[in-house]
Structure 1
Amino acid sequence: MSATQRFEFDLAIVGSGGGAFAAAIRASNLGKSVLMVERSTIGGTCVNTGCVPSKALLAAAEARHVALEAGGRFPGITADAGPVDMPGLISGKRDMVEGMRSEKYADLIDNYGWELRQGTATFSGTPEEPVLDITSPDGAGESVSAAHYLVATGSEPWAPPVPGLQDTGYLTSTTAMMLEEVPESLLVVGGGYVALEQAQLFARLGSKVTMLARSRLASAEEPEVSLALMSVFTDEGIRVLRRATLVSVARDESSGGVKAVADVAGGRQEFRAARLLMATGRRPVTEGLNLEAVGVKTGDRGEVLVQGSLASTNPRIWAAGDVTGHREFVYVASAHGALAVDNAFSDAGREVDYRHLPRVAFTSPAMAAVGLTDEQANGAGVSCECRVLPLEYVPRALVNRDTRGFIKLVAENGTGRILGLTAVGKEAGDLAAAGVYILEAGMTVEQVANLWSPYLTMAEGIKIAAQSYTTDISRLSCCAT
């Protein structure tokens, strides 16, 4: 790029999600001119079809579930919950999404003063002189040049090529959030975070749910996670079949629903349900961007191949968020966007560091983790020692009358340095957040065991788990830990 070359914008961003906005804000604060191009609804996946709507519905489903179970959980309390008014629930969710989209996205564009174009973006030109062609919804076209470009187009639900699947009108995590009625029965294919959340959501809203998982639930996490969630799901009437592979799907003409055939643990079984939800992962959105024309390489799943700095194979084109194929969390996308801008305009030389990245599934009880699992530590050649603390030893869980779950610590032998934390329980996400600080500080189990922790908090469980390395926790006083 010539020092004397002039461009219409310092930064042109394709996409308008968390990564795009983080980049635009950082660039604007650096005094750079910014253009953002969005072909659909502003805000990206998180606010429109992902985190915000799904967690809003999960919270509503949990409120209904708590009402239904309150009588058995708390003596002296009676409660009831009638059928779900799904149109009303979806309308409330839609209002929340529209409000957040306006306040946290659209209004910020005016506040910071960057430009927004509605339209479809495609790269053209050459690797040395890339250009962004923008086609507006009315068919008008324009071409713009920028000193740097950021691809932040996110990802979309993906389903494997199963015979008959495309003819069944199957649901994805996106379309499931738009249903105007609760399906009488639901077949969920998948065992990851999205499958777990959606299965429990619809079960609590009144669907009869069956899950087909290729491996154990949350297979990348500690095995205790799968066991705990299997127990919770069984108690809530969710049928989970492991080692299940979908073979074919067809419409069930007799009921108007779907029928599916799957290989389950070596045998073939047929399943029928009103609706089918495919929660089998997501794929980066890069089709139609014409990235190859400007020297940007993509991987087998369409992801933009990036260095740790988030630069693509073209030094003027960067990528952030799900489109990179990295971990699919909105806080990762946001960190990506800011980091890419710092590297592009300030030569910061920063790289993404995922060592202490927290991960959360908003089931109830929730699952959260940070750092290494036992298996990962051993695979890295680290001799480690683990402790699993059942929640029956955590006073907060006892007074909540909900001891489903555990807290697990992975510590290095010899030094006692904590390498990983996993929890299933109420407020598990907050425990993982505390774990981020513990791991970042390089703290040991001895240090954590002897630090202050407020009584009757879930976070106190981390201290008790650390104490379990040297103490028989069954002999501790509940108020004098």
Structure 2
Amino acid sequence: MTGERCAARAHEDAVPIRAEHFQSPASTDSMGDAVLHIAVIGSGSAAMAAAIKAVERGARVTLIEHGTVGGTCVNVGCVPSKIMIRAAEIAHIRRHSPFDGGIDVNPPAIRRDVLLRQQQGQVDALRHAKYEHLLTEYPEITLLRGSARFLDARHLQVRLPSGDIQALAFDRCLIASGARPAIPPIPGLAGTPFWSSTEALESPQIPASLAIIGASVVALELAQAFARLGSRVTILARHTLLSREDPEVGRTLAKIFREEGITVSEHREVAAISYQGAHFVLDVGGQTLRTEHLLVAAGRTPNTGTLALDTVGVETDGHGAIRVDARLRTTQARIFAAGDCTDQPQFVYVAAASGTRAAINMTGGEATLDLRSMPAVIFTDPQVATVGLTEAQARANGLIPESRLLTLENVPRALANFETRGFIKMVAEAGTGRLLGVQAVTSQAGELIQTAALALHQNMSVQDLADQLFPYLTMVEGLKLAAQTFNKEVNRLSCCAG
């Protein structure tokens, strides 16, 4: 991200923020000096990371939250979904594995009530440990329950749970209000008891049949999880699976899903939806699909519509996402933003890193967030992990790429596991061999991608990677083998990829 997005910033907003501007109207330290007061809207990962860093740098913070402390990830996102995904993976392994000929199959009985209690218990424990308890450890952070909106560039209006209104003055403000599931305007949908990801993760039953509208991260993770726990799952994709990734990623995952019994319908539009006799009825391209439950997983919408951002000149894009520059500043000098409510990638680790850097900048420091080597993971089985540029993105950036695709039949660990579904693809700059990106569909792809991210961050070439020592019989050794394919035929090498 660059400051070019904020080229239209008013002259006043372009003035550097100096130390003498950091004055709080309501608080002083033990020496009688004014203490910077930062208001933070939200209490998720970006908000908490910012609040902690801000108080470490001498500020005091008011955290404003109208819902459950902790935001999306710990409560209704990353944590419960990964618990459910892991349970589904165990069920799948007990029902089917490459070793069934030598290990008797033991089909599992799914007790959703027990799994749900286990899932929610871990969610509650992590929320307490990482959010609620931490608030008691930092007396400089005050939690204010209520819904905030801007009055001007120095004041918020907070509607308390009682209905009363409280005005809150601030020196700096961080918007970290997160996002919510996006609901497409499909005729009839609003009048049905459909699920978003939140309701799906909290459902006490595994439905006999489940249709899913969407073909990105949340849709695919939950599709496979519900299928492995006993649902007949149909994915309805407007384009292809993971259409923004390298095409081979979506093709490979679609093939794997179909092999597991999931119906993958690509290039399909849902024209209308109704709810009849305890079933959803979908008009899909003139054909009728009946299903017990419907999950809508069509992306997420920033929670910015109620903040009165136009009052203070904070610009958003066409989807309501707040525009921020490399220092997390909005188009209002005193107001910063971080996390899923911004135009940055919607990942919890990006949100936390952004919150920390925003706090540094709000308290007089200089910090930026470099997303060029940002890894991403999709927790299907096999996992999908990516970092850097695809071939198409490299060309769009004016580069001349060359790539190699290594199938997992060439990775010793995959052979030892009898699990060779997937690939590792490496993209390099033609001529220099500089690593540009990696896309992987493999078991443990989420673990190996960080090595690729570090190599990318260090501007390594594929030859640099090929020359490194990688432990034998690990999946990450596949990176070395993929790098070697630029100059060697790996099927003619001995073991250990020396």
Matches within 5 A, 1:271-286: 271-286=289-304
Query: 2:127 pairs with 96, 101, 114, which one?
Result: 101
Letter in 1 for 2:327: S
Residues of 2 paired with 1:457 and 1:327: CA distance? 30
Task: Tell me the equivalent position of 2:31.
Answer: none
Task: Tell me the equivalent position of 2:494.
Answer: 477
Query: 1:206 pairs with 213, 230, 247, which one?
Result: 230
The question of 1:121 aligning with 2:153 is answered no
Letter in 2 for 1:76: G
Residues of 1 paired with 2:193 and 2:251: CA distance? 32
Q: Note if contact 1:284-1:301 (Cα within 8 Å) is conserved in structure 2.
A: yes
Query: 2:280 pairs with 258, 266, 271, which one?
Result: 258
Q: Which string of whole-angstrom CA distances, capped at 9 and with x for unpartnered residues, describes residues 152-188 of structure 1? A: 0000001210100011111111111110000100001
The question of 1:55 aligning with 2:82 is answered yes
Change (3 A) 1:392 1:137: same
Q: Note if contact 1:188-1:209 (Cα within 8 Å) is conserved in structure 2.
A: yes
The question of 1:360 aligning with 2:377 is answered yes
Task: Tell me the equivalent position of 2:358.
Answer: 340
Letter in 2 for 1:167: G
Residues of 2 paired with 1:192 and 1:480: CA distance? 35
Query: 2:406 pairs with 385, 389, 397, which one?
Result: 389
The alignment partner of 2:171 has SS state of strand
Q: Which string of whole-angstrom CA distances, capped at 9 and with x for unpartnered residues, describes residues 273-296 of structure 1? A: 001111111100012212222222
Residues of 1 paired with 2:162 and 2:99: CA distance? 58
Residues of 2 paired with 1:132 and 1:122: CA distance? 6
The question of 1:370 aligning with 2:392 is answered no
TM-score (norm 1): 0.95
Letter in 2 for 1:470: N
Query: 2:53 pairs with 19, 26, 30, which one?
Result: 26
Residues of 2 paired with 1:74 and 1:207: CA distance? 23
Q: State the shift of 1:5 in Å.
A: 5.2
Query: 2:186 pairs with 162, 186, 189, which one?
Result: 162
Q: Note if contact 1:74-1:401 (Cα within 8 Å) is conserved in structure 2.
A: no
Q: Note if contact 2:339-2:354 (Cα within 8 Å) is conserved in structure 1.
A: yes
Task: Tell me the equivalent position of 1:223.
Answer: 247
Matches within 5 A, 1:9-158: 10-70=37-97, 72-113=98-139, 114-124=141-151, 126-127=152-153, 130-158=154-182
Q: State the shift of 1:7 in Å.
A: 2.7
**Which stretch of structure 1 is more off in the superposition, 302-311 or 356-365?**
302-311
Q: Note if contact 2:324-2:343 (Cα within 8 Å) is conserved in structure 1.
A: no
The alignment partner of 1:73 has SS state of coil
Letter in 2 for 1:295: G
Query: 1:407 pairs with 424, 440, 446, which one?
Result: 424
Q: State the shift of 1:74 in Å.
A: 4.7
Letter in 1 for 2:405: V
TM-score (norm 2): 0.92
Paired residues in the alignment total 470
Aligned-pair Cα RMSD in Å? 1.5
The question of 1:7 aligning with 2:29 is answered no
Q: Note if contact 1:165-1:249 (Cα within 8 Å) is conserved in structure 2.
A: yes
Residues of 2 paired with 1:442 and 1:190: CA distance? 35
Q: Which string of whole-angstrom CA distances, capped at 9 and with x for unpartnered residues, describes residues 13-70 of structure 1? A: 0100000011011101101111101100000000000000000100010011011113
Q: Note if contact 2:64-2:143 (Cα within 8 Å) is conserved in structure 1.
A: yes
Residues of 2 paired with 1:371 and 1:343: CA distance? 26
Q: Note if contact 1:170-1:276 (Cα within 8 Å) is conserved in structure 2.
A: yes
The alignment partner of 1:187 has SS state of strand
Q: State the shift of 1:133 in Å.
A: 1.8
The alignment partner of 1:462 has SS state of helix
Residues of 2 paired with 1:394 and 1:84: CA distance? 34
Q: State the shift of 1:4 in Å.
A: 8.4
Residues of 2 paired with 1:290 and 1:395: CA distance? 57
Task: Tell me the equivalent position of 2:7.
Answer: none
Q: State the shift of 1:215 in Å.
A: 1.3
Residues of 2 paired with 1:480 and 1:351: CA distance? 38
Q: Note if contact 1:210-1:239 (Cα within 8 Å) is conserved in structure 2.
A: yes
Residues of 2 paired with 1:89 and 1:448: CA distance? 42
Q: Note if contact 1:368-1:424 (Cα within 8 Å) is conserved in structure 2.
A: yes
Q: Note if contact 2:95-2:108 (Cα within 8 Å) is conserved in structure 1.
A: no
Query: 2:472 pairs with 444, 452, 455, which one?
Result: 455
Query: 1:269 pairs with 287, 298, 319, which one?
Result: 287
Query: 2:202 pairs with 178, 196, 207, which one?
Result: 178
**Which stretch of structure 1 is more off in the superposition, 221-230 or 406-415?**
221-230
Letter in 1 for 2:94: A
Q: State the shift of 1:105 in Å.
A: 0.8
Residues of 1 paired with 2:174 and 2:272: CA distance? 40
Task: Tell me the equivalent position of 1:309.
Answer: 327
